[in-house]
Structure 1
Amino acid sequence: MGFAFALIGATPAVAVGATPADQQLKAIYDAEWVWRQKEFAQISDGLRSESDDHFPAIAPADWVRRRGYWQNVLARIAKIPVASLSPEERMNAAVLSESLRAEIANIDFRTYEAPLNSDSYFWGEVKPYSALENADDYRRYIGRLRDVPRWFDGNIANMRAGLARGFTPPHVTLAGRDKTIAAYVMPGAANPLLDPFKEMPAAIPAAEQAQLRAQAQAAIDTQAAPAYAKLLVFFRDTYLPGTRQTVSAAALPNGPAFYRSQIREYTTLDLSPEQIHQIGLAEVARIDRDMKATIALTGFKGSFPQFLAFLRSDPQFYAKTPDELLGFSALVAKRMDGRLKDVFTTLPRYRFTILPVPDAIAPVYTSGRGGLSACLMNTYDLKSRPLYNLVSLTLHECVPGHSHQAAMALEAPDRPAFRRQTYFSGYGEGWGLYSEWLGTKLGMYRTPYEEFGRETFEMWRAARLVIDTGIHSMGWTRAQAIDYLSSHTALAKLDVEIEVDRYISWPGQALAYKLGEMKMRELRAKAEAELGTRFDQRRFHDTLLNMGSVPLPTMEAEMLRWIAAEKARPASAPAA
């Protein structure tokens, strides 16, 4: 579902001068958060849950019960006059309301009956990819290992219900995903589920480490690994053969309404597929002109397709070893570190690392992904990972993109826990793409090839607007989508196919990036025009990121208020 559930610190006390409406709202979201922790105990991205050592209940009755609870929360929030709320609580109300609206919509469409797509799958949530920090963390993880059979059985039951009504990911997008299950079926020390026990904190006594490791091995051998083996048989013999042969969301039960709901969830905007398709076509045409101008700067004399063929085949653009690729990304991140003082006035203390995508999932994983604790770079099939794209990718996923953004959200002062753990793709992915563009203002692209890499990434996101709506609303085929993305970008063939399969199996998600970035650049342009020489990008970025992840209409309203306040502030007055 839409939340990343993990408890971060204590909920802030009611602010001094809080209105009665503020206090009323706080009582609602505090209670909802306590309830949510009990419902969805998880270990997520290095943030430790204080809840029990199990996975959530996922039977249909559990989702119906949650829907009733959340509907009641929304009704109570709706009774609070927005004008009576303080600025921060106004955002809290908007964030929680939009989040719960999306959760309720997904329950209504029974999306829990398809707990997987080409990119993400429930069985990948068992193993934590961030380090566990103390003995209690390890005990919670062992508890989860013991709970895997129940949790997998519940998901299998839901998947059977999805099969029965034709609510599945498209068959073509699930090829090879059985390998991500197969890696975990063997007993013994080689099972990747035991990886967190290979290097344990020195603060845990050696004897206790040995005891925990033995308990984990027993849980893996007798419970978790057999559950993965059972899932693998079900996936190969029953689920995959029964998945739908169509690719469009429109072919699902109540498909057109479901697609509109997904558009709203991921973009937080009320735009039709037709409107988004036209926005995409206009952006593709604009970026195409930019790309051709950049090609001219390289001195290349051939056609656009010939230039793409040159980029995809010339060894100078590719790393020879995984460490070379990781090192290039680390260099980009470190170069960006030197410019952060020009981008923000306040920097987070939390640090991230750069790691390779785990081998078990790398063949079907995206090129990179950034999170609070780690920024993952895919080193599988190096001939598909051109270095000229890596500047943009690192800025987007690592810094000042997602890893930096997550640290800012973690350390934001006086913010309710639900705000720190709510993620809107339009805001979050919009910032990632904006971060790529921001590199043009900071000298991050050193060659025309690296600038072309940025442009091909921007084209990639613009083409998504065309492809996603084309597939899910206008009858496009998978081959048509692959041809469109291949002919407009320098992405490798493997990336093109993985990305198109992601759009097919995850309707609407791909729309968030470009629409969010366009809104942020539109607001920046407005601020620059209205503030003139008084415009300070550091204060603009501070305000944009310090509000945390919010719906795009909320972001726009808050940034317009900031622009008005900046205009009203006397030139000699200190910044607030």
Structure 2
Amino acid sequence: MEKKFSAAIAGACMLLAAVTVTAAAHADPAPAIKPGPADAQFKAIYTQEWKWRISQKQEEEEDDDNGVSASLPRIDAATQAKRLAYWQAVMKKLDGISQDKLSAPERINYQVYKTQIAALIAGQVFREYEKPLNADSAFWSNMASGARKPLTNEKQFHDYLKQLAETPRYFNEEMDNMRAGLARGFTPPKVTLIGRDASITSVTDAKTPQDTVFYLPFKTMPATMPAAQQEALRAEGVKAIQAYVLPAYAKLLKFMREEYVPKAREALAAESLPDGKAYYQSKIVEFTTTTMSADQIHKIGLSEMAKIRAEMHDVIKQTGFEGDLPAFLQFLRTDARFYAKTPEELLMRSAWVAKKFDAKVGQYFGYLPRRRFAVIPVPDDQAPFYTSGRGGPGVYLVNTYNLPARALYSMPALTLHESAPGHAFQMPVAMEQKGRPPFRNAYISAYGEGWALYSERLGVEMGMYETPYEVFGMLSYQAWRASRLVVDTGIHSKGWTRKQAQDYLHDNTALSDHEIETEVDRYISWPGQALSYYLGEMSIINARKKAEAALGAKFDVRAFHDTVLQLGSVPLPVLEARIDLFIAEGGKSPYPNQD
């Protein structure tokens, strides 16, 4: 049985690698092919699978930002086995399609989709559903985040009430899966779970149901709804939270404190997990969309860190500071001038950077997304273990917890990454493209994080950094992401300790000790994800350099950026091939009326 299981895992890793290699092999510009039977065959496969995926609640409905499901997903072991069989059958169908017979748009769709299905299969084969939490997030905090979405009509409120009633069943299934993972040593490392029950106690310690996050939708109800109806729904909300949510959270808290955390594994490395080497390699392929080994990535990280340190020394000279890099980092971490006094000051500084970008955007982008974004603080129950910021369609979350850990000189780089032209800009651009199948809106980390990190570098060119300290903040963030190549592979493949990883970030970035601790725990509990940022940025930078060299005076940075963003989230080989086509076409914009 063990041999069969290992063979299945090895097969999944080979499949992921093969998909990436195939994408690279077929990514060169090809003669135009009109839509034909192959297109129709492929569309039928992904249309049917996507509808099924929605029914399984593995994805949200397209354009369903504020809706709410009337139920929570089924996640028991039998359901998971059926999902594996379904996706394996889909892959078999995909293997029967010749990419060379697909039209150009569908060929890109095929490369994206097949990579996506391969990652879904690998997740099922490795039974990642048995580890539904990490140091950054967990199934219960994700559910709580959903409760913060405003509801706009009576149906949504009734659907929300039905969802709350499903909490006990859903939590029980999650805990059953976690017990199965516990039995085979497939858990996050224990050290990354310490204190993470705070996001559970924020619910269990509430004095009344009205004090929980799950009551938030009932606090601001549509003004058009009659008062009596509002009162009735509020009463039902209190009853549902009291009867279903609070007992489920209490049971979860007991499980975490008495059963799960005490027995979680002590080892840090992903390679120490069952079939760990194959598992970690599968995460590398998933998050980087390359077939590089851990050793190759580690060496790239060391090389890039050396380059960034040289840049840092040049900037330190510009500040007039007399001392070495460690002394300068200590100065940045301790001087009060670099830190906000209030959460409002941090939020306002972030908003100011975002508005400064608006004054520059027309010089660097032709197509602008219609979707705006708000700047809001990270919720209190998540903030202590949350990253410094996070952005996406409609929102830029800024962590105002522990202000002495949130350097103002880093805010320009953070804001460019998370808001515009980073995540809150890139994602809406992709979603606004017409005629694209909904699976293309799925997030590919190497592309999305690579673009966001490229946005930080672009800030230099755009004149977004006003002082050498802000430039150094950008370089510190570049070092932060390059050091992840060293730290992630060090932890998961080379036997690094938690302290080794923390010391490496402390010695090479200006991150605060609090940020270093939360970040390292994130890398420990989320293998491979941290590798996507810098490798993605390198791919975009190299593609731009190639285009600039080939096109010379014909190179238009707006057309280049529009081409990258119009493509949407794709594996890096597909992006690189698209820029080859951009060069072959003379550097024209993907939006003809903006040439």
Same fold flag (TM > 0.5): yes
Contact 2:67 2:151 in 1 (8 A): no
The aligned counterpart of 1:278 is 299
Task: Find the counterpart in structure 2 of residue 182 from structure 1.
Answer: 201
Contact 2:71 2:163 in 1 (8 A): yes
Q: Which residue of 1 aligns with 2:547?
A: 527
Counterpart of 1:381?
402
Q: Secondary structure at the match of 2:166?
A: helix
Q: Structure 1 residue 308 and structure 2 residue 345: aligned?
A: no
Counterpart-to-counterpart distance in 2, 1:433 and 1:265: 19
Q: Look up the equivalent residue of 1:211 and give its one-letter code.
A: A
Q: Which residue does the alignment assign to 2:128?
A: 111
Q: Does 1:419 align with 2:436?
A: no
Q: 1:107, 1:383 → 2: CA distance?
A: 41
Asked if the contact 1:170/1:504 (under 8 Å) is kept, the reply is: yes
Write the letter of the residue equivalent to 1:305: P
Q: Is the CA contact 1:126–1:145 (under 8 Å) kept in the aligned structure 2?
A: no
Q: Distance in 1 between matches of 2:345 and 2:68?
A: 41
Q: Secondary structure at the match of 2:585?
A: helix
- For residues 365-404 of structure 1, give each alpha carbon's deviation from its aligned partner in whole angstroms, at most 9, with x where no partner exists: 0000001121100000000000001100000001110011
Query: What does the per-residue CA deviation read over 1:506-553, in whole Å, with 9 as the maximum and x for residues that have no partner?
Result: 000000000000000000000011011111111111111111111111
Matched, 1:320 2:337: no
Q: CA deviation at 1:359?
A: 0.1
Counterpart for residue 173 of structure 1: 192
Q: Which residue of 1 aligns with 2:494?
A: 474
Paired with 1:240 and 1:147, the residues of 2 have a C-alpha distance of 25
Partners of 1:122 and 1:338 in 2: CA distance: 40
Aligned equivalent of 2:8: none
Match of 2:143 among 126, 132, 137: 126
Is 1:443 aligned to residue 460 of structure 2?
Answer: no
- Find 1:141's aligned residue among 126, 136, 160: 160
Q: Does residue 55 of structure 2 align to residue 35 of structure 1?
A: no
Instruction: Give the C-alpha shift of residue 59 in structure 1.
Output: 1.0
Structure 2 counterparts to residues 233-252 of structure 1, below 5 A: 233-252=254-273
Contact 2:339 2:407 in 1 (8 A): yes
Question: Which residue identity is paired with 1:498?
Answer: T
Measure the CA separation in 2 of the matches of 1:45 and 1:375. 21
Give the Cα separation in 1 of the matches to 2:199 and 2:89: 39
User: C-alpha deviations, 1:426-465, integer Å up to 9, x for none?
Assistant: 0000011001011111000000000000000000000000
> Cα distance, 1:130 vs. partner?
3.4
Name the structure 2 match of 1:501: 521
1:546 is matched with 566
Are the structure 2 counterparts of residues 45 and 316 from structure 1 closer, same or farther at C-alpha, using a change threshold of 3 Å? farther
Find the aligned partners of 1:173 and 1:238 in 2 and give their Cα distance: 16
Gaps of 5+ in 1: 1-15
How many Å separate the matches in 1 of 2:252 and 2:268? 24
2:389 maps to: 368
Letter of the 2:125 counterpart: D
Give the Cα–Cα distance (whole angstroms) in 1 for the partners of residues 63 and 414 of structure 2: 22
TM-score by length of 1: 0.94
Q: Distance in 1 between matches of 2:57 and 2:582?
A: 36
Distance in 2 between residues matched to 1:51 and 1:574, nearest whole Å: 38
Matched to 1:530, the amino acid is A
Which residue of structure 1 lines up, in the alignment, with residue 169 of structure 2?
150
Can you list the C-alpha shifts for 1:138-196, whole angstroms capped at 9, x where unaligned?
A: 33222221111100000000111111111000001111100011111234211111112
SS at match of 1:375: strand
Structure 1 residues 355 and 49: CA distance shift in structure 2, 3 A:
closer
2:210 is the alignment partner of 1:193? no
Deviation (angstroms), 1:52 = 4.8
**How much has 1:46 moved relative to structure 2?**
8.3
Distance 2:115 2:60 in 1: 24
**Secondary structure of the residue that 1:376 maps to in structure 2?**
strand
Instruction: Give the secondary-structure state (helix, strand or coil) at the position aligned to 1:131.
Output: coil
Find out whether 1:338 has 2:355 as its counterpart: no
Q: CA deviation at 1:357?
A: 0.2
The answer to whether 1:562 aligns with 2:582 is yes
Q: Answer whether contact 1:42 1:55 (CA < 8 A) is retained.
A: no
SS of aligned partner of 2:210? coil
CA distance in structure 2 between the aligned counterparts of 1:138 and 1:342, rounded to whole angstroms: 45
Alignment correspondent of 1:210: 231
Could you say if the C-alpha distance between residues 465 and 361 of structure 1 is closer, same or farther in structure 2, counting changes exceeding 3 Å? Answer: same
2:242 to 221, 237, 246: 221
Tell whether 2:306 aligns with 1:268: no
Of 259, 277, 295, the residue aligned with 2:280 is: 259
Is the contact between residue 266 and residue 509 of structure 1 (CA under 8 Å) also seen in structure 2? yes
Offset, 1:63: 1.2
SS of equivalent to 2:397? strand
Partner of 2:10: none
Partner of 1:12: none
Read off the aligned partner of 1:502 and give its amino acid letter.
R
Alignment match, 1:59: 76
Aligned in 2, Cα 1:542/1:134: closer, same or farther, shift over 3 Å?
A: farther
Contact 1:43 1:49 (8 Å CA) reproduced: no
How much does 1:418 deviate?
Answer: 1.5
Secondary structure, counterpart of 1:444 in structure 2? coil
Classify the secondary structure of the residue corresponding to 2:420. coil
The 1:286/1:45 distance shift into structure 2, 3 A limit, reads farther
Q: Deviations over 1:472-504 (max 9, x none)?
A: 101111111100010000000000010111111
Q: CA deviation at 1:409?
A: 1.9
294 and 224 in structure 1: CA distance in 2 versus 1, 3 angstrom threshold: same
Q: 2:492 is aligned with what amino acid? A: H
Structure 2: distance between partners of 1:429 and 1:253:
29
Instruction: Find 1:232's aligned residue among 253, 256, 260.
Output: 253
- Partner SS for 2:400: coil
* Equivalent in 347, 352, 372 of residue 368 of structure 2: 347
1:160 corresponds to which of 179, 184, 187: 179
Cα 1:317/1:119, change in 2 over 3 Å: same
Structure 2: segments with no counterpart, 5+ residues: 1-32
* 1:389-468 alignment runs, 5 A limit: 389-420=410-441, 422-468=442-488
